[in-house]
Amino acid sequence: MQVGKHTAFMIDFLSDFADGEISRDAFEMDYSGYVIEHFPMMEREDLRLAKKFAATVDVAVEYAEVNSISDDDFRVLINNALCDLLGIEDTDLS
């Protein structure tokens, strides 16, 4: 799948978090700012994929904000949302 540079940035950011390279605190501090900065450009790059991002990744982040889940569960949730976004079948890290 070929994606634009803003979409690739967000995918890399999400992957880094899911892989444990970014702490949950750092992820939560940066996520909203990155969405504000990159999402409008993601819509221009590929509107369908941007909508899918909102329906998968953003919904997962909002769920975690409302519910008290562990850091490990949050990483799995973001990994699964990223896999859904990219159409990858094997999602569960646990």
| CA–CA separation, 87 and 66 (whole Å) | 26
Per domain, the residue ranges of the chain are 5-86
* Interval 9-39: pLDDT, tens: 999 999 999 999 999 999 999 999 999 999 9
Res 87: pLDDT = 87
* Interval 43-93: pLDDT, tens: 999 999 999 999 999 999 999 999 999 999 999 999 999 999 988 875 555
Residue 17: CB partners within 8 Å, gap ≥ 6? Answer: 24, 27, 75, 78
